Every structure is written in structure tokens, then in C-alpha cells.
Amino acid sequence: MSIIEERLITKLETEDGSLSGRVWMESKKIWRIAFPAILARVALFGVVMVTQAFVGHIGALELSAFAVVQTILVRFACGITLGMSSATETLCGQAFGAGQYHMMGIYLQRSWIVSSSVTTILLPAFIFAAQIFKLLGQVDEIAEEAGTISLWFIPVLYTTLFSSTMQMYLQAQLKNFVIIWLTVASFAIHVLLSWILVYLLNYGIPGAMIAMNISFLLLVIGEFVYIFGGWCPDTWRGFTKAAFSDIFPVIKLSISSGVMICLELWYNSVLVLLAGYMKSAVIAIATFSICLNITTWELMIGLGFLVTASVRISNELGRGNTKAAKFSIKVILCTGTCLGVVFSVVCLLCSYQIAYVFTSSEEVAKSVSSLSIPLAFSVLLNSIQPILSGVAIGAGLQSVVAYVNIGCYYVVGVPIGALLGYVAHLEVKGIWIGMICGVATQALTLLLMTWRTDWEKQVTRASERLNRWLLKAPDQESN
């Protein structure tokens, strides 16, 4: 179905009628975006999860080192680069809603320029990871092992950068199912490669990391082939010098987006660092990382709804339809909350069994089981909070959310976690409760902000931004 047909169908859909009919129509729009986005993110994060599972069965030290790199360094770098590239989601979504299709390819190229430059600047952190972790006070044996593993993550930074921006570009124009096929295929290949390299060939850590790099690379190649091969004729007109024009306003919006996302991702990294200072650091980090991975895997569903909220809100703001935007927010929030309740009950009942997916240690499994109640609360919040962040991204309110994240996470969450973990001697459970307090405060703040937002004003801002950066399409220039 072409983009023009999509817009004709949208125009033919009226908003009058029964409430149930309107909810049904909106739900169909939501799940058309959400299902591919969720499945793609579950499969994509599954690549990292499978790698960690293989590493965890090699040894507790290796698992802790991998967890430190993934939750601190990788989140630090991806928090910046992926956060900055989320500006692509805002701009492409609003451009699609406004019918400025040729600008979407230009916005994509601008995001590549900005994000790849920042990624290159961050490489020394991965090269000197062992020294950095030692300076941060981590145990020497964990720091040394983490320094080796961090080098294997350097190719992942670039493949993740290009993959995520292309997914945002494709999702903004509702080309979702190609992402499903590519990510699921990448995940299946990764499982097979990991089994061959780690178990059959006994390559250990190098085998697990090689498998992960190959899987991410194949995904990026597939996305490049789809975009460059002519399957996006309305939005991709080839490489152009126009990508370098108006680059500084894009950088400004990208920085706001980067601060918003990275402060959120760094929050968990700070808590992992706090866990590393405890007496049984290896057990504490392993426990915290397993719980974090459980919630993060469920968070992939929340991120699918984040994408959905961002696309729906940005599309409707681009069209100037504030009534549809507000109704979409209500339906997405109700849907996400219902799913969150279901998954939180599963985590409450099965946390002990889930832990054995990542470890063979009875001590670690028991430690994870002791966190079942805080884990269930985290899962519920992870189903609500991303939707509210997606609304902010769709409206271009990233800079406001950045200030919210600073206050909720670092003024509320981290101090409470430190007090409960060290002063009250609740260990990992205390740190996790602090994390819940920070996320809950953020969710309530974003909910209040969404309710009080002047959506007519956001339509005006979106229109002004798109018109200010609008360039003529090549066929318009020739005419």
C-alpha cells in the first residue's frame, strides 16, 4: 500500500460514532505499529540476552564483567547516540504527517552525520575500559575481564547506530513488517552462531561476541538493502548535500533528545556501580544485571509502545489533528497498563525459574528470587513510563523531559537507593527500591505534563519547525 493510499484511508476514517468504534479503529492503528515494533525490539535485545546467557554459563566472573560493560559503558554510549538519533523519530514522524516525504530521507542522513561523529568521540571509553572501571572502584578481576569484553562492543556501537535510525525512519512511514523479518532472522542466526562458536568450537567469550557482531551486521546490511533498493521511493531520493544544511538546529534538537534518553539509561548504570561496591560484588552485580535484563526484556514491549506513541502523536500533529492525538494517548496508555499488569504477575510468580536462564548459580538464583516483588513493580512501571516518553518525543518535548529525568532519577531515585542499600543494609533490594521510586516519580510527572500540555500550541510548533527546515524536492526544483 502506497503512502498516498494510506493518507486517503486516514481521511476517509471519521471520528464520529460510538466510543467502542473509535477505540477499535485507534487500536488497529496502534497495533499495526506496536506489534512489529515490539517483536523487532524483543528480537534485537534478544541477541544481547542470548549472548549474556552464553557468557553467564561460562562463569560468574564473566557474567559480572559482561554486565558491567553492557549496563555501564554500552548504556553510556548508546544513551547519547540513540538519544540523539531519536530526533529522527520526531522529525520523520511529523514530516510524514505533513506530507513532506522527501524530507524524511534528508533527516535520516543528518542523523547519521551527527550520531556517527559522537560515537567516534566516545571510542576511548571502550579502549581504556579496564582503567576506567578500576578508577570507579570496581574489583580488579572484574575490571580486567570487562576491559577485554568492551573491545568486542565497538562494532556493535556503529551497527546499533545505523540500525536504530533506519528503524525510526521506516516506522515513521509505517513500513514495519520488513523490520520484523530482518530482526527475527538476525536473532535466529545469532542463536545458531552462538551455539556453534561457544559450545561446539569452544571459543568461549570471543565466540559469543563474534556471533553478536555478525548478527547485528547482517541486520544493518538488510536494512540498507531495503532502503537503497527502491522500496522507499517517496522518502529516499538518494544521498544529497542537503543533509549538511541546517545541521546545527538538528544538532540542538538531537542534544535535547540525547540528554533525555541518556539520563534515563545512565540511571541503571549508576545503580549497577552502587551494587559493585558491596561486599559480595560478583553476586550483587550478577543479581542486579539478571533482574535488570528481565525488566529490560519486558521494557522492549514498552519501547514498542513508545515508538507507537511517538509515531501516532507526531503523525497527527503533522496533520494538525489534536483531537486524534489526545485520543490516541488515552488508548495507548490503557493498552500498555493492562499488559503491564499481566507481565508483573508472571515475574512475581516465576522469578526463581527465570533466573536459571542466565546463571547456573543457586546463590544468584535465590538472590534474584528475593527481589520478586520489586521486580514486579518495575515491570508494571516499564509498561507505562515509555508511553509517556513516546508522547514527549512525538511532540518534540525532549528538552523538558530531560529536566524531569534529572530530578526524578538523580535527586530522588539514586539517593533513596544508596540510603536503603548501605545505611538500611537492604543491599541489592534497597538499590532496586530506589530505582522504583525514581521511575514512579518520573511516570507521575510525565503523566501530569501530558495532561496539562497545550496540544494546539504543539501543532503550531511542529508546523513552524517543518516549514523552517523544508527543502524543495528534486522534481519541484526541476519544475
In this prediction, residue 372 carries a pLDDT of: 77
Cell numbers that stand for 307 in this block: 515508538
Helix axes 455-469, 247-276, angle to 10 degrees: 120
Q: What's the mean per-residue pLDDT of the chain?
A: 80
**Spatial distance between the Cα atoms of 61 and 64, rounded to a whole number of angstroms:** 5
Residue type, 417: G
**Spatial distance between the Cα atoms of 468 and 3, rounded to a whole number of angstroms:** 23
215 neighbors 187 (Cβ within 8 angstroms): yes
pLDDT in tens, 76-122: 787 777 767 767 777 787 788 778 888 888 889 988 888 888 889 88
Q: Is 246 exposed, middle or buried (0-12, 13-18, 19+ CB in 10 A)?
A: middle
424-440: burial string, b at 16+ Cβ within 10 Å, e else: eebbbbbbbbbbbbbbb
Residue type, 66: F
- The label of the residue with cell 521511575 reads 439
Give the global pTM.
0.73
In this prediction, residue 225 carries a pLDDT of: 94
pLDDT in tens, 227-259: 999 888 888 988 888 878 777 766 776 676 666
pLDDT in tens, 170-228: 887 878 778 888 988 999 999 999 999 988 888 888 999 999 999 999 999 999 999 99
427 neighbors 418 (Cβ within 8 angstroms): no
Half-sphere exposure of 202 (CA within 13 A, CB side): 0
**Spatial distance between the Cα atoms of 291 and 367, rounded to a whole number of angstroms:** 10
128-150: burial string, b at 16+ Cβ within 10 Å, e else: ebbebbbeeebbeebbbbbbbbb
**Spatial distance between the Cα atoms of 125 and 81, rounded to a whole number of angstroms:** 14
- DSSP letter for each residue of 187-247: HHHHHHHHIIIIIIS--HHHHHHHHHHHHHHHHHHHHHHHIIIII-TTT-----GGGGTTH
pLDDT in tens, 315-359: 888 778 888 888 888 899 999 899 889 888 888 787 767 777 666
**Spatial distance between the Cα atoms of 424 and 437, rounded to a whole number of angstroms:** 16
Nearest to 267 by CA among 414, 433, 78: 414
Cell numbers that stand for 352 in this block: 526463581
Question: Among the ranges 59-73, 276-290, 292-306, 320-334, which has the highest mean pLDDT value?
Answer: 320-334
Cell numbers that stand for 185 in this block: 532472522
pLDDT in tens, 371-397: 778 878 888 888 888 888 888 877 767
Helix (H) or strand (E) holding 52: helix 19-56
**Spatial distance between the Cα atoms of 185 and 245, rounded to a whole number of angstroms:** 37
pLDDT band at 265 (very low <50, low <70, confident <90, very high): low
Rounded to the nearest angstrom, the gap between the alpha carbon of residue 43 and the centroid of all alpha carbons in its chain is 13
Rounded CA Rg of the chain: 22
What distance separates the 2 farthest-apart alpha carbons in the chain?
A: 73
